[in-house]
Homo-oligomer: A and B are copies of this chain.
Amino acid sequence: MKVSRVYNFSAGPAVLPESVLREAAEEMLDYKGTGMSVMEMSHRSKAYDTIIKEAEADLRELMNIPDNYKVLFLQGGANLQFAMIPMNLMKNKVADYIVTGQWAKKAYNEAKLYGTVNKIASSEDKTFSYIPDCSDLNISENADYVYICENNTIYGTKFKELPNTKGKTLVSDVSSCFLSEPVDVSKYGLIYGGVQKNIGPAGVVVAIIREDLVTDDTLPGTPTMMKYKTHVDAKSLYNTPPAYGIYICGKVFKWLKAQGGLEKMKEINDKKAALLYDFLDQSNMFKGTVVKEDRSIMNVPFVTGNDELDAKFIKESEKAGFVNLKGHRSVGGMRASIYNAMPMEGVEKLVDFMKKFEEENA
């Protein structure tokens, strides 16, 4: 099979490890002698049971997830979590949100359907180009939780330190930084994300929730499918799960283990990001849009300061095999998403291309 691959800088769905895709292709018609594709497999079968259990076990190992946390594979995308979180956790009907981008803002607006929601910090004043100081915020006394979006996909910022929640439960959307570096799960009540950036194909959400937060006491009118308890009790098999997506996630977990785990991934990701940021910092044409100390190592937005030049860069880079570098419409310019599966070589070649472009257009 002759295959020509591009360097795909999409913010999500995004690049996956080539070896994972090759395995999936090889197993498509006959998964390990079962005589069928994983797509055709009953989710109650022995073969699938092994797939989903191994996926969970590998994720637990990678993230060092404590025993008192449940791991769930859910449907509906991160957007469904924006409602599921308040429906399950808002016992006092109060929550505090830190708004550092469009996704945090959407979660904040959705939560308002269910109770009193306080915006306790925001960086909207400067187009979300920084993370506010969260060391001593005015946390509501009866807040059921404090919510953050830990890596802001669109703006390219990242919480380098978790907010001081003053003892309140921390809920975090890690969609765009999932498995990019080690995390201390015990600091969170709920940590979740859509898998379509760093883990697998769209259609699966991984949610990791502390046991004591899983209760039957949800808001009136909460659909059965939107109770965490439903899925905890059924071990993510209450109904037919997004089985093929979970299978691919499982392969990515094994790939991450083979790379050396999350410490190693952080090392690699830091290097990849430094390569790009160092170039941006010395370039006279390109510059990053985010304050240095809050820079994401996953999503790197940058601009030339000239819309026409931006457009020219995007066009020429695409021709050269660097695709999806156009920035989100709300920021403009460019954005390179350099998730786990983006090889170092991809970033090196991008920087070379940027250098050349700068010379040619100086």
Q: Which residues of A contact B (CB under 8 A)?
A: 1, 3-6, 8, 10-16, 18, 21-22, 24-26, 28-30, 33-37, 39-43, 45, 75-80, 82-84, 87, 110, 113-114, 194, 196, 200-204, 219-221, 223-226, 238-245, 248, 321, 323-324
Of the residues B28, B110, B196, B204, contact of A223 by C-beta under 8 Å: B110
| Cross-chain pairs A/B with CB under 8 angstroms, 22 sampled | A4-B30, A5-B35, A8-B35, A10-B42, A13-B41, A18-B29, A21-B28, A22-B28, A22-B29, A25-B25, A25-B29, A45-B324, A75-B80, A78-B239, A80-B226, A82-B224, A83-B223, A201-B243, A203-B243, A219-B221, A220-B221, A245-B245
Of the residues B11, B37, B200, contact of A42 by C-beta under 8 Å: B11
Please tell me if the beta carbons of A202 and B76 are within 8 angstroms of each other in the complex.
no
Q: Which residues of B contact A200 (CB under 8 A)?
A: 39
> What's the minimum C-beta distance from A151 to chain B, rounded to whole angstroms?
16
**In the complex, what distance in Å separates the CA atom of A181 from the CA atom of B1?**
37
Please tell me if the beta carbons of B28 and A110 are within 8 angstroms of each other in the complex.
no
Q: Which residues of B contact A18 (CB under 8 A)?
A: 29
Please tell me if the beta carbons of B29 and A194 are within 8 angstroms of each other in the complex.
no
Please tell me if the beta carbons of A39 and B21 are within 8 angstroms of each other in the complex.
yes
Q: Which residues of B contact A75 (CB under 8 A)?
A: 75-77, 80, 203, 242
Instruction: Apart from A5-B29, A203-B240, list 10 A-B contacts with CB within 8 A.
Output: A3-B29, A12-B42, A14-B40, A16-B39, A24-B28, A35-B321, A79-B225, A83-B226, A203-B244, A203-B245
- Nearest-neighbor residue (CB-CB) of A15 within chain B: B40
> What's the minimum C-beta distance from A221 to chain B, rounded to whole angstroms?
5
Please tell me if the beta carbons of A42 and B28 are within 8 angstroms of each other in the complex.
no
- A28-B24, A245-B242 known; A77-B225 Cβ under 8 A: yes
Q: Which residues of B contact A42 (CB under 8 A)?
A: 10-13, 324
Please tell me if the beta carbons of A79 and B239 are within 8 angstroms of each other in the complex.
yes
Please tell me if the beta carbons of B25 and A39 are within 8 angstroms of each other in the complex.
no
Which label, helix, strand, loop or mixed, suits the secondary structure of the A interface?
loop
Q: Which residues of B contact A29 (CB under 8 A)?
A: 1, 3, 5, 18, 21-22, 25
> What's the minimum C-beta distance from A139 to chain B, rounded to whole angstroms?
26
Please tell me if the beta carbons of B76 and A225 are within 8 angstroms of each other in the complex.
yes
- Nearest-neighbor residue (CB-CB) of A225 within chain B: B80
**In the complex, what distance in Å separates the CA atom of A302 from the CA atom of B223?**
35
> What's the minimum C-beta distance from A360 to chain B, rounded to whole angstroms?
24
> What's the minimum C-beta distance from A270 to chain B, rounded to whole angstroms?
23
Q: Which residues of B contact A242 (CB under 8 A)?
A: 75, 201-203, 242, 245
Please tell me if the beta carbons of B243 and A244 are within 8 angstroms of each other in the complex.
no
- A77-B75, A225-B80, A242-B245 known; A201-B22 Cβ under 8 A: no
Please tell me if the beta carbons of B79 and A224 are within 8 angstroms of each other in the complex.
yes
- Nearest-neighbor residue (CB-CB) of A39 within chain B: B201
